[in-house]
Amino acid sequence: MSEENQNQKAMPASLASVAAKHAQKQPGTNPLGTGLEARGVHAWFGTKHVLSDVTLDFAAGTVTALIGPSGCGKSTFIRTLNRMHEFIPTAALAGEVRLDGKDIYAPGTDVTKIRLKIGMVFQKPNPFPSMTIGENVLSGLKLAELKRSNTDDLLESCLVRAGLWNEVKDRLKEQGGSLSGGQQQRLCIARSLAVEPQVLLMDEPCSALDPGSTFRIEETIAELSQTMTIIIVTHNMQQAARVSDYTAFFLSNDGPGLMVETGPTSQIFSAPRDKRTEDYVTGRFG
């Protein structure tokens, strides 16, 4: 008891208290399936081993933040979760990633269907410049060759959920590139919602945005986590503390990246078990 108190004092009060304010969701409280499970995931680029033996569960309907210094493999890891990793020609992988208990790397799997269920938002907003705002939101239907009867409703609901509807409802016919950076990123979120994914991966979605836009996106994340599983890579520990239920800390010591520790976010920021996690979240390195 007293030791834990001392430990808490050593932490910067802000991060721990921010994390404490975030009401953590318990796994399994949401009827959204069993979520996503990574089992012994290794990753390579050519002969370079960049990620070693990561086993991590993402309970359905929770937000998990992946934190760690640059080059620790967290972006590589998130890209193994929807098979975007293999997009790089020399990439290789070992282990399993299971969605609702089924390995997404199993032979005979249609990778496009996996990416429909596990959507992704990238670091840099990347709307399609040849399309209007409305077309951008619905582009997934066309790309994945899905049929929807009432696209107007879908368009509106996606933009509402991404927190962008009020700003763009009168300009749906304008080009996607006419929006500000933060709006573009929310447009990209809306776009990934249109194909109704179970899981949304976000790879540093706010690192190119100003604080105001960041705040809006964090609100959106909180909203979305009611209905889907979210995994977010972030360099911003404040952000991890604000938005996530669980946090996983990644680190690489000249070798492949490892997952050092995972747990409820409030615990990671107040009473980490591993010394390296403590050093990182207290700002001693990284």
Partner 1 sequence: MALLEDRVNSVPAPRELTTKPRRSDQIFRFVVTLGGMSSLVILGLIALFLSIKGIHILNEKGFSFITESRWEVVTDENQEVIQSTFGIGAMLVGTMLTAVIALFVGVPISILGALYLSFYASGRVKTFLVSLIDLMAAFPSLLFGFWGFFVFMDSAEYWAKLINKYLGFIPIFQVPTPIFERSPFIAGLVLAIMIIPIVTSISREIFAQTPLDRIQAAFALGATRLTMIRAVVIPYGRGGIVGGAMLGLGRAMGETVAVYTVLNVVYAVNWQMLFGAGGNIASLILLKFGEAGAYEVDALMAAGLILFLLTLVVNFAADFLVNRFGKRGR
The residues of the shown chain that bind partner 1, judged by CB under 8 A, are: 82, 84, 87, 112-113, 115-116, 119-120, 122, 124, 126, 128-131, 139-140, 142-145, 188, 191-192, 195
Which residue in 180, 201, 179, 198 sits closest to 189, CA to CA?
201
Q: 89 vs 101, which CB is nearer to partner 1?
A: 89
Q: What's the min distance (Å) between Cβ of 282 and partner 1?
A: 34
Is 14 or 112 the residue whose CB approaches partner 1 more closely? 112
CB of 119 or CB of 256, closer to partner 1 = 119
Task: Please tell me the total number of residues recorded for the chain in this structure.
Answer: 286
| Residues forming a β-bridge with 48 | 45
Question: Which SS3 state, helix, strand or coil, does residue 24 take?
Answer: coil
Q: Select from 127, 202, 114 the least CA-distant residue to 159.
A: 127
Query: Tokens 């994914």 map to which residue?
Result: 197
Tell the burial category of 3 from Cβ atoms under 10 Å away from its Cβ (0-12, 13-18, 19+): exposed
**195 SS3 class:** coil
Neighbours of 226 (CB within 10 A): 11
Nearer to partner 1, 16 or 84 (CB): 84
* For partner 1, the closer CB: 69 or 117: 117
Between CA 259 and CA 250 the distance in angstroms is 4
Q: Which is nearer to partner 1, 32 or 84 (CB)?
A: 84
Cβ 44 to partner 1, closest distance in Å?
18
Q: In the complex, what is the shortest distance from the CB of residue 50 to partner 1, in angstroms, rounded to a whole number?
A: 18
CA distance 179 to 170: 13
